[in-house]
Structure 1
């Protein structure tokens, strides 16, 4: 249950960052911004940076909510909360990594379906990456680190790597896009 709540907190914090593209398209801002002295890669970079910043804020908010809950209810905070929050961060980062290139290709008119598809893609990536993470833990055991913390850190690292690779794909797509 904690995992679902942690993911929803991060998702609700990050959803407005994806909605920005829809409102930019409706207002005609994406055509206007090209007349400003910025490059297309700066535009994509600002979208990605804003989304990443909102995901970090959602992650901190989610973890702090569980931390305060643990203090108020005298429930001990274990590694499961950190794992739940990091898995939620991984899923939401992958949702953005999938959604942004698709938004640039198909346009903001289909943004609701793309956002839902990105979230489902993040879940599929999570389930697909479980075996890779398990293999890495078997091959490179770290004796002084708890395995659940190790798994959580690996998920965050993989999420950031996928998000950064998605950025380069989006820059390539946005440079080719005609308005």
Structure 2
């Protein structure tokens, strides 16, 4: 076997995305999600879920932001308010989602990097994918932004989208 390549074997969900040899250089996805500053009487930070979809494969949660500081982990009961995420992958995800969670974020741009094979990030082989970002806010609304992207044979991609009210700009870069 050429030392430049390694065969990645993972769990059932990771295996669904990883079907071929992957270059030894770690694949990284950099995501930027903007939470707009809203002028409302009582503002609550939104719960946000990010997941990856590929036609014919199971969806994969890569990050969930919720109120992790509530006593007895009571914040998990509101995860189902992110309805698209909940119906797609959330209800089958262990609660609290292990290895992919974080606290809610204040308004502004949040930049997150994911490395393939760590946390919820699968290795992305060449093909078409969709990054889906959903936000739900207490006393506010819900919004879903879908960012289609195509991973090249070199393992790279770019994509962007924009929300209207609960989410602002969403962008991603996949690189080796």
Please, what TM-score do these two structures have when normalized by structure 1? 0.25
Give 1 or 2 for the bigger CA radius of gyration: 1
Kindly indicate which of the two structures has a greater share of residues assigned to helix: 1
Which of the two has greater strand per residue?
2
